[in-house]
Amino acid sequence: MTRSAREILKSSKIVVSPETFFVVSVDHENFVKLLSDPDRSPRMNSEFLIFKDKWEVTLVVDSADFGNLGKAIDGASVEGNFRLLSFDAEMGFDVVGFMSAVASILAAENISILPFFSFNRDHVLVKQDDLPKALKAFRGIVSEVC
C-alpha cells in the first residue's frame, strides 16, 4: 500500500546537520581543476553534493570543505550560511508530492529552500537565519524535530 506524502511527512523525523553549508557554482573548466587536486575535494566523511549539468557544476559543501576549495573556485558564485534539514523517512519512487508538501509548509513562512534528494530521502537547505522558523513550522506536522 502506497502512503501519501502527508502520511510520510507525519511519520518522518527531521534531522538537522550541525554543520553550516555553502552552495558553490563553478564552470566546467574550474571543476576539472578542482578534481585534479585531491586536497581540494570534499572529505569522504562529510556530507556533500556535486551536481553537474550542461551549464555549471553545483557543489554543496560544509564550511570545512569550503575552506579547502581555495583558488579552485575563483570567480565562482557562492552562497553560504545554509543548514541542512534531512527528512528521515524512506520513501519509494511512487510517492507523489512529498517535496511539494515540504515546500508549501516553508513557503507559508516565507522561507526559501534549496531541495535535493538522495535515493531514499529528501533534504532541504535553508538559511541559518530561517532555521528556527522552519523547525517551528514543522512542529505538530512531523513526528520529531531534532
CATH code (residue 62)? 3.30.2130.10
Q: In this predicted structure, what is the pLDDT of residue 55?
A: 94
The tens-digit pLDDT sequence of the chain (146 residues) is 577 888 889 889 999 999 999 999 998 888 888 878 777 777 777 888 899 999 999 999 999 989 888 766 778 899 999 999 999 988 888 888 999 999 999 999 999 999 999 888 999 999 999 999 999 999 988 887 87
Q: In this predicted structure, what is the pLDDT of residue 1?
A: 59
Integer Cα distance of 9 and 90 in angstroms: 10
pTM for the model stands at: 0.88
Q: In this predicted structure, what is the pLDDT of residue 136?
A: 95
- Which helix (H) or strand (E) element contains residue 116? strand 114-117
Residue 15 lies in a domain: yes
Q: In this predicted structure, what is the pLDDT of residue 44?
A: 78
Structural domain range at position 33: 1-139
Total domains, the chain: 1
Residue 75 lies in a domain: yes
Residue 145 lies in a domain: no
- Which helix (H) or strand (E) element contains residue 32? helix 28-35
